[in-house]
Amino acid sequence: MAFDAATAHVEIGNDYPEIREGVQAVCSRFPTSYWRELDKKDAFPDEFVAAMTEAGYLAALIPEEYGGSGLPLRAGAVILEEIHASGGDAYACHAQMYMMNIILRHGTQAQKDRYLPIIASGELRYQAFGVTEPTTGSDTLKLKTRAVRDGDHYVVNGQKIWTSRALQSDLMTLLVRTTPVDQVQKRTDGLSVLLVDLKQAVGNGLTIKPIDTMVNHHTNEMFYDNLRVPVENLIGEEGKGFRYILDGMNAERILAAAEGLGDARYFIERARKYACEREVFGRPIGANQGVQFPIAKAYAEWKAADMLNRAATALFETGEPCGEDANIAKLMASEAAWNAAEAAMQTFGGFAAASEYDIERKWRSARLARIAPISYNLILAYVGQHVLGMPKSY
Ligand SMILES: Cc1cc2nc3c(=O)[nH]c(=O)nc-3n(C[C@H](O)[C@H](O)[C@H](O)COP(=O)(O)OP(=O)(O)OC[C@H]3O[C@@H](n4cnc5c(N)ncnc54)[C@H](O)[C@@H]3O)c2cc1C
């Protein structure tokens, strides 16, 4: 039987076939022409986010008592994978899945009661995550944005870069330094997580400057100039914020891997079909091994990465340490997606360059996934240093 991206997932136990079908049904209302037009105009997929919210998929990981479905991380991974396999892009709505654990695991009861029900209903958009800074990049522990306590507020000063969806969100997770690095015993101490009400902050200490990028991603530079954030918006304990962010990172790796797996499915199916249909020199181009083998190899890589991500998710869900598995799954899934993107690009020949074929748009986005949210090298550094015990580069 030929590969079909719509059903290309090996069912091990219950792999949420009803969720896959439901997400596919929503996505079918947003064909690739919808994403292509947004890409041209650099516009935000408001209608898509509204449809996914209405169908309940963006609240999948929020516990039932707060209005969500209370499903495990695997369900979130399946939702994001299906969006990407359809030719769409989950960038506009994935961050709240990544960040949910931070509020759930470390937020106060008052914060959960205040935010979770309105995030679940879609009334409050929680899609912005401010960690990366222009001068320190991947060296997160050196970040310079400072928050200083002043009565019942923190006063925030500094600069972030690449804070995506800040203009389309109501609430943001912000990582700041509350104790200077030279006053802490460990560099991981002294960082704190604040929830920032973006609508209130803009014009009152926060300036947002959009960055023009190679993908339609709505990402920004953020300038903090005496922004006052109520102390009640601190997550967990002051100074322990880096641990809370790390807690969320394994979930982020697994969900980002799922998006890569969806992209790989999209490219493999498009390339396979085109290779069977396009005839040059009197036969389908897919009969030539130079065309066929890169697609077959991409399929093998997709399948291996899919297994890795399922293993990482199973560990995550049982509460076992899963840093190694989640990082390697993210690495292999984004490589599988990129190799599939390259195979599709080559298979379509000149037509790959025409936007109406929907290859180049997804190709750009698959390339970016090797850099953000975590770069290829930094995952290899994690494996080399933390798993294999080799000397540190940072
Ligand atoms: C479109 C987009 C959206 C983003 N959205 C967000 C967001 O919402 N929130 C947020 O906080 N951040 C976001 N980011 C930031 C993203 O996470 C970073 O760009 C990424 O982590 C890499 O950091 P950097 O760009 O500063 O690269 P740098 O840290 O400057 O690194 C540059 C290169 O050097 C390599 N390198 C650095 N140190 C080492 C080392 N020790 N060993 C080997 N190689 C090394 C890196 O792998 C990389 O290839 C986004 C980025 C983009 C492009």
Ligand 1, atom 26: closest residue by C-alpha: 137
Q: Which amino acid is it at 386? A: H
From 97, 127, 162, 212, give the residue whose CB has the most ligand 1 atoms within 8 Å, as the site to mutate: 162
Residue 231 pLDDT exceeds 60: yes
373 alpha carbon to ligand 1 midpoint, in Å?
A: 7
167 alpha carbon to ligand 1 midpoint, in Å?
A: 21
Q: What is the pLDDT of residue 387?
A: 97
> Measured in Å, how far apart are the chain's first and last C-alpha atoms?
49
Q: How far is CA 335 from each of CA 170, 261, 293, 295, 369, rounded to the nearest angstrom?
A: 33, 10, 16, 14, 9
Q: What are phi and psi of 371, to 5 degrees?
A: -115, -45
Q: What is the pLDDT of residue 246?
A: 87
Contact predicate 38/106, CB 8 Å: no
Contact predicate 313/254, CB 8 Å: yes
Residues lining ligand 1, judged by CB closer than 6 Å? 129-132, 137-138, 162-164, 213, 217, 219, 368, 371-375, 377-378, 381, 393-394
Tens of pLDDT, residue by residue over 109-149, are 999 999 999 999 999 999 999 999 999 999 999 999 999 99
Q: Cα separation of 143 and 159, whole Å?
A: 9
Place 347 in a pLDDT band, splitting at 50, 70 and 90: very high
Q: What is the pLDDT of residue 98?
A: 84
Task: Count the Cβ atoms, other than its own, within 10 Å of residue 147.
Answer: 26
The crossing angle, in degrees rounded to 10, of helices 289-317 and 73-85 is 160
- Ramachandran sector of residue 162 (left: φ over 0; alpha: ψ -120 to 50; beta: rest): left
Atom of ligand 1 nearest to the CA of 211: 1
Residue 343 pLDDT exceeds 80: yes
Mean pLDDT of the chain: 95
Domains annotated for the chain, with CATH where assigned, are 17-121 (1.10.540.10), 126-242 (2.40.110.10), 245-387 (1.20.140.10)
Atom of ligand 1 nearest to the CA of 160: 11
Structure tokens at 91: 């960038």
372 alpha carbon to ligand 1 midpoint, in Å?
A: 6
Question: Given CA atoms 345, 348, 354, 359 in this order, what sign does their dihedral have?
Answer: negative
Q: List the single range of 97-106, 183-192, 200-209, 375-384 with lowest mean pLDDT.
A: 97-106
Residue predicted with more confidence, 6 or 144: 144
Contact predicate 316/322, CB 8 Å: yes
Residue predicted with more confidence, 243 or 10: 243
Structure tokens at 128: 């912005």
Atom of ligand 1 nearest to the CA of 132: 11
Q: Which amino acid is it at 76? A: G
Contact predicate 103/112, CB 8 Å: yes
Residue 161 pLDDT exceeds 90: yes
Q: Which residues pair with 77 in a beta bridge?
A: none
191 alpha carbon to ligand 1 midpoint, in Å?
A: 19
- Ramachandran sector of residue 296 (left: φ over 0; alpha: ψ -120 to 50; beta: rest): alpha
Structure tokens at 4: 């079909």
Tens of pLDDT, residue by residue over 268-312, are 999 999 999 999 999 999 999 999 999 999 999 999 999 999 999
Task: Tell me which residue has tokens 């943001």.
Answer: 172
Contact predicate 59/65, CB 8 Å: no
Q: What is the pLDDT of residue 216?
A: 94
140 alpha carbon to ligand 1 midpoint, in Å?
A: 10
Place 248 in a pLDDT band, splitting at 50, 70 and 90: confident
Ligand 1, atom 38: closest residue by C-alpha: 138
Instruction: Work out the average pLDDT over 49-64.
Output: 96
